[in-house]
Amino acid sequence: MAASDDHSDWSAAMASRGSSPGAIISIVILGILTVTFFVTTLMFYAEKNNLEAAAEDAVQSRDRFVAGGEVDRANAIADRAGPGKSVFAHMEDVIGRAARIAAGSRDISINDLEQRVADIDPERVGLLRIATNQRERIASLQSQIDEMRAPAAEESARLAAARAFFTDDATRVRRDADGIAQQQQQLSSQVTGYSGRIRDGIESIRRQEDETRVRVQQVRDEAENDKATLRNQVAQLDEQILRLEDEIRRLRDERRAATIRPRDEFALVDGSISSVQADQQQVTINLGRRDKIVLDMVFEVYESAASIAPDPRTGEYAQGKAMIQVINVGEATSTARVVERRGRAQIFRGDVIANPVYDPRKQYRMLVFGHFDTDGDGRPTEFERDSIVARIREWGGEAINAREAADLTGDIDFLVLGQRPTVPPQPSSQAPIDVQLQWIRLNDQAELYDEFQRRAEAVGIPILSQNRLSTLLYN
């Protein structure tokens, strides 16, 4: 405060004296100082602009190789490269090591590496997942770097603090990069393991395909051999059948011509006429299903049992006064139509009937083959044959299968045929073995169906459909 008061007094004294030399000198000195300060300010400002321009050039030159946010990462890479080794040399070495880890060779190109990866994993399932994870991680790191650029620009004036901040962040990034490298190594090991298992699986599938093809070819060869053998057997059997057919015809002719000489003519009476229509066209007989009467069976009509006596000279039996044929079978009676009337003889109730080959004690043998529809669903199957067999046995007949009557000998009374098995188009050699075996089975059944029908027609065995069999058994 004293100095201030003295300065005030000195200023007042100077003012009171007027324009003294000391005041002029003070003013001059103040002017010089002002000019000096102004010039110094201009120099510092110009130097500042030069430094800023130089810094901008340096940043642009640096960005050609390393972006602003990548300096610390580049420094970290340089630190890992070690003394005497450039970042480029270090990166080239890292790429070579990565190529050696991925493909076993440092000299492989990126295109060759991509081709080998495509051969290992053509669907790119695992590698795309790895790339996606890495891309997301890189995007996250890039986002962090972008967030760091704004604070870096704001803190450019305080370089030391910013450098410390970026040093810490670089350390964290290095840790993250190390973690990513470890993840890459783990994923690379997993991809290698998956690729090995995939190759092993593909090789196993190919071996199974080869074994299946060999087995299919063996089955086909065996089937062809069996067919050739069967064709030879069929040819031999056809020859035997022709001879047997001739023998059967001869025996049938002999049977028709044979003379029946029972001890008692009453033994030849099979039944009698129960009723006669007024027009003499139809009659009712006292024989039915329980007596083994079947459709189309023929009887001779006689006035009495004595009329069946044989001729004493020839031993042959005389014809009856009429011939009837069964057209409807009941449980105890049947309806027959008059197919032939000899002379003007009338048929009366009580007339007897006879058939020299009819035997009510006979058990009819029937070969049942084909597909049947017993449940009425419109889909004939081979499994519904069991219902037909059960009906025949319930009626008192004997049902035999194809293996028991492959040659259709003369002791078979009826051939019961269902629907012919439907054979689908022949499958290709690449079809599953089950499909091919099913086709072979159906084709064999269809051929056997045709063969049974042909042989039955050749030897004269009656053929019954499902409807005709039902009519025979249940009217």
Question: How does pLDDT run across 265-316, given as a tens digit for each residue?
Answer: 456 788 999 999 988 899 999 999 888 888 888 899 999 888 876 666 665 6
| Cβ-based neighbour number of residue 140 at 10 Å | 11
Overall pTM surpassing 0.75 (yes/no): no
Give the rounded distance of the alpha carbon of 17 from its chain centre.
Answer: 123
Q: How many whole angstroms separate alpha carbon 212 and alpha carbon 282?
A: 68
Retrieve residue 231's tokens: 């064709």
Q: What letter would DSSP give residue 370? A: S
Most confident of 38-47, 131-140, 276-285: 276-285
Percent of the chain, pLDDT > 90? 12
Per the CB < 8 A criterion, the answer to whether 166 and 152 are in contact is yes
- Residue 283's CB is within 10 A of a number of other CB atoms, namely 24
Alpha-carbon distance 7 to 10, whole Å?
5
Cα–Cα distance, 217 to 222 (Å, whole number)? 8
Residue 324 clears pLDDT 60, i.e. is over it: yes
Q: Name residues whose C-beta falls within 8 Å of residue 466's C-beta, 6 or more positions apart in sequence.
A: 372, 373, 374, 388, 416, 418
d(CA 130, CA 191): 10
Half-sphere exposure of 439 (CA within 13 A, CB side): 16
Single-letter residue type at 204: S
Please list the residues that pair with 317 across neighbouring strands: 310
> Rounded CA gap, 345 and 273, in Å?
15
Output the pLDDT for position 129: 61
Minimal CA–CA distance to 287: which of 328, 334, 326?
334
Q: pLDDT tens for residues 169-202?
A: 778 878 887 888 888 888 878 878 877 888 887 8
Three-state DSSP class for 41? helix
- In the chain, the percentage of residues whose pLDDT exceeds 70 is 77
pLDDT of residue 125: 47
More confident residue, 58 or 228: 228
Instruction: Out of 56-70, 89-103, 169-183, pick the least confident.
Output: 56-70
CB atoms within 10 A of CB 114: 11
